[in-house]
Amino acid sequence: MSLLSVRGLVVNYGHVEAVRGIDFELVAGQITTLVGANGAGKSTTLMALSGLVKKAAGEVRFDGEEISSTAPHRIVGRGLVQVAEGRATLTTLTVRENLELGAFTRRDGAAARARDIDHVFSLFPRLAERSGQLAGSLSGGEQQMLAIGRALMAKPRLLLLDEPSMGLAPLIVQDIFRTLQRINAQEGLTIFLVEQNVKQALKLAQRAYVLENGRIVLQGSGAELLGDPRVQAAYLGH
């Protein structure tokens, strides 16, 4: 079942067409990735889904409802939550305070939120060890874990991740990707992953799209695109 459907999405920055009429589907319960080079339009696509940039044309439907004119905070309230590129943790607040702020749209009580913080700590034990530390004192990998944990506190139905591997050591990246795979497998969370680390992303995803110069040029399963000579030549150095 399609959880999110995009048809003819166009996003402009002034006279520059950053996203050029793309179509794609996100199937409920799957990990889907959008890969491509820097400047291809990947982050712009995510921001359009979250309501952070206006589309010039096209349709975005989340769970059957058009959301293109919906305010960003209301999109979050519906269950579409984005982890921004660069993590954007609140550095002068503690780890726990950051997590608590992730639940600002919820109305289900302190006990439920406390249980979910414990769940985030079970996914990312390093955060539990540092719960009282200021977010600004964390390493880059720990801040990325916190950003994902904060998004999970909003109880997403669809989690958007923008370049979660950026600037991180390979072992930390593998750890984060394993956790995302675990969340998807155990909890059925739908994930849309934007990544420059094409190999890691295609290994993780059930479905994949390749974006070049604002257009989707290839699509298929993650395994199919990982084995595609065009992808290997353009992104994997084969």
**Single residue among 100, 132, 155 that ends a domain in this structure:** 155
Pairwise CA distance, residues 48 & 54, whole Å: 6
Q: pLDDT tens for residues 26-82?
A: 999 999 999 998 899 999 999 999 999 999 999 999 999 999 889 999 999 999 999
61 & 175 share domain: yes
Residue found under tokens 């959880």: 3
> Which pLDDT score is estimated for 105?
80
Q: How many domains does the chain have?
A: 2
Residue that finishes a domain, picked among 107, 138, 155: 155
Q: Which residue has the tokens 């290997």?
A: 232
Per-residue pLDDT tens digits for 157-185:
999 999 999 888 899 999 999 999 999 99
Contact assessment for residue 19 and residue 47, using Cβ atoms and an 8 Å cutoff: no
The CA distance from 169 to 152, in Å, is 23
| 73 and 161 share one domain | yes
Does 186 share its domain with 69? yes
By CB neighbour count within 10 A (0-12 exposed, 13-18 middle, 19+ buried), where does 108 fall?
Answer: exposed
Structural domain boundaries, residue 135: 88-155
Radius of gyration of the CA atoms of the chain, in A: 17
